[in-house]
């Protein structure tokens, strides 16, 4: 239960939130994302004003969070949407005192998000504006679901990509390993109706021979396979207990071992966010739920890969 002190509310022990992670709290009827960074704490309203995705599930830098559905970015200090005048989320003051985390809610009203289908690529003209200038593209297959996407290469260093080579890519989920399906091309990719396709992520470089060897060995490692299977079983059990209408079907640990993705069939719900936080607690990696039917959102515009967020409801 939330403890109160004048206008402040206690969120519990500050140590419950690890550096580099986020959690969601339900405070006075509001859903608040709390981010702990190396140097600072931030609290903002959880839902992106674009499509309503959980910002706690977004990719977070030191002071900017990127929403995972359409890559809208928000300044954690001000709540302002970067490059999108007029859009913002509420911000709230945090204080750590004697090891306890306290929040002071702002008087700003919670902003209701626009009713936009997150799978609708034509939701915003702004989202369609992708800058492929001074960049090459490469078709890459990635993830346990064998998704394919056009990845942007912006380095000035020459790079020769051959079919089947392994490359390091960055997606909204983190750093991953992909397989090259095409050479580098300079013309922007187009869809069936001639519109420019947004990049799925960034192509960083080719894997070294040792990295490729370690990656394959890790995928075959019995301990890693056991870990994934245990989490699949635990997630399925908790989902059944909650009566959530989804099925967890597969899982994978991403390249740097910092994110474990659990794939599910069904509609994303807030219950999956709470469950992701529970499964992440006390582990060295972050658990993320990702719909098998929804490719991780492309780079260029808001926070959750089909329903996985690190959330927590205080008791």
Q: What is the pLDDT of residues 173-183, one digit of tens each?
A: 788 999 999 99
Per-domain boundaries in the chain:
3-116, 131-218, 220-291
- Of the candidates 145, 128, 121, the residue with the CA atom closest to the CA atom of residue 297: 121
Mean pLDDT over the full length of the chain: 80
pLDDT at position 3 is 52
Place of tokens 């890459």: 140
Phi, then psi, of 230 in degrees rounded to 5:
-65, -40
CATH, domain range 220-291: 3.30.300
Query: Residue 120 above 50 pLDDT?
Result: no
**Through-space distance between the first and last CA atoms of the chain, rounded to whole angstroms:** 5
β-pair type (259-265, 286-291):
parallel
pLDDT of residue 314: 37
* H or E segment to which residue 238 belongs: helix 222-242
- Asked if residues 260 and 252 have their Cβ atoms less than 8 Å apart, the reply is yes
pLDDT of residue 267: 77
Question: Is the pLDDT at 303 greater than 60, yes or no?
Answer: no
Torsion of the alpha carbons at 305, 35, 87 and 298, rounded to the nearest 10: -30
Distance (Å, rounded) from C-alpha 71 to C-alpha 53? Answer: 10
Domain 3-116 fold? Rieske Iron-sulfur Protein (2.102.10)
What is residue 87's predicted lDDT score, i.e. its pLDDT? 80
Segments of 14-134 assigned E as strands: 22-27, 30-36, 41-45, 59-60, 64-66, 73-75, 91-97, 100-104
Q: Which of 136, 224, 135 is nearest to 180 (CA)?
A: 136
């Amino acid at each position: 239960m939330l403890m109160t002190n004048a206008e402040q509310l206690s969120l519990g022990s500050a140590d419950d939130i690890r550096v580099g992670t986020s959690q969601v709290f339900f405070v006075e009827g509001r859903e608040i994302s709390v981010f702990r960074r190396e140097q600072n704490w931030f609290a903002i309203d959880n839902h992106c004003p674009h499509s309503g995705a959980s910002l706690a599930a977004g990719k977070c830098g030191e002071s900017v969070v990127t929403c995972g559905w359409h890559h809208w970015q928000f300044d954690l200090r001000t709540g302002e949407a970067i490059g999108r005048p007029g859009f913002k989320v509420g911000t709230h003051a945090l204080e750590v005192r004697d090891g306890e985390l306290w929040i002071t809610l702002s008087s700003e009203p919670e902003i209701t998000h626009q009713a936009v289908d997150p799978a609708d690529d034509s939701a915003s003209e702004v989202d369609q504006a992708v800058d492929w200038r001074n960049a090459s593209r490469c078709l890459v297959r990635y993830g346990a679901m064998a998704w394919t996407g056009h990845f942007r290469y912006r380095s000035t260093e020459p790079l020769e990509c051959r079919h089947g080579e392994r490359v390091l890519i960055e997606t909204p989920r983190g750093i991953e390993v992909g397989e090259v399906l095409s050479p580098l091309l300079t013309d922007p990719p187009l869809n069936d109706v001639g519109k420019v396709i947004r990049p799925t992520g960034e192509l960083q470089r080719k894997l070294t021979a040792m990295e490729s060897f370690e990656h394959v060995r890790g995928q075959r490692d019995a301990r890693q396979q056991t870990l994934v299977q245990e989490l699949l079983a635990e997630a399925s059990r908790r989902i059944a207990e909650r009566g959530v209408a989804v099925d967890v079907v597969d899982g994978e640990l991403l390249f740097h071992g910092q994110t474990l993705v659990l794939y599910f069939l069904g509609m994303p719900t807030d219950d999956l966010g709470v469950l992701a936080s529970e499964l992440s607690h006390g582990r060295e990696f972050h658990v993320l739920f990702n719909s098998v039917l929804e490719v991780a959102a492309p780079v260029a515009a808001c926070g959750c890969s089909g329903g996985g967020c690190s959330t927590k409801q205080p008791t």
